[in-house]
Structures are given as C-alpha cells and as structure tokens.
C-alpha cells in the first residue's frame, strides 16, 4: 500500500539570543505502508486503549535525515499518530506508529 501524508516535527527555534521556543513543523512525504496491525493495551483502565502498530517507510529528504529525532507524529487515515520509533535505512526512514497523538500540531499554531 502506498502512503502520502504529513509528518510533524518539534523544533527549537532561537527567538532571541540564547532563548529557544518550541515550534511544530509539518512536512509532506511519499512512502509505503510496510506493516498494518493493531494492538490493545488495557492497563488499569476501564476502556482499553487501541493503538496501531503500523510501520510506514518514507522516502528521506535532507530535512528528515537531519531531524528524524524530532519527529513526534504522522498523519494516517485522517488522524495524527505518535511516531514511537524511527529506523534509519537510507534512503528511507521506517516509522513505527503508536497511539493517537493529542498534543500541539502545526495547524493549531497562530
């Protein structure tokens, strides 16, 4: 299955000398869905959390290669999911998805 979507990065930008502010940036990528799976983790909750355990292989650009450690979410099926793991297999990055990402996104910034 082919993939096209956005990946969110959390970058620290220098707004004043020695003052850094976190900024969320999204970039678009093409790739392939390597694995499509789900898992259920119940823990001590009444309702179990459903997490996907997909792997998406994206074609790496210089920005992604330099900032892969700053990836925080990826859009999949209209929902942002946490990037729980990144494997560098140049010229690709293999992203493993976790639960739904509920944090700040690029589209929410002013």
pLDDT for the residue numbered 110: 38
Name the residue among 52, 28, 32 with its Cα closest to residue 40. Answer: 52
CA angle 75, 24, 61 (to 5 degrees): 65
- Residue range 72-99: mean pLDDT, rounded: 94
pLDDT for the residue numbered 37: 81
**Complete domains list, the chain, with CATH:** 2-103 (2.40.10)
pLDDT for the residue numbered 14: 87
- C-beta separation of 33 from 2 below 8 A: yes
Residue 48 has pLDDT above 80, yes or no: no
Q: Which long-range contacts (CB under 8 A, 24 or more apart) does 83-87 make?
A: 83/7
- Residue range 94-98: mean pLDDT, rounded: 95
């Amino acid at each position: 299955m082919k993939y096209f979507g956005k990946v969110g990065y959390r970058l620290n930008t220098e707004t004043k000398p020695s003052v850094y502010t976190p900024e969320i940036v999204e970039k678009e990528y093409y790739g392939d869905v390597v694995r499509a799976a789900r898992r259920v983790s119940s823990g001590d909750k009444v309702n179990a959390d459903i997490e996907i355990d997909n792997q998406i292989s994206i074609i790496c650009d210089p920005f992604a290669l330099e900032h892969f450690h700053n990836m925080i979410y990826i859009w999949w099926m209209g929902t942002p999911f946490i990037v729980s793991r990144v494997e560098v297999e140049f010229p690709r990055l293999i992203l493993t998805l976790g639960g739904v990402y509920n944090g700040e996104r690029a589209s929410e910034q002013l």
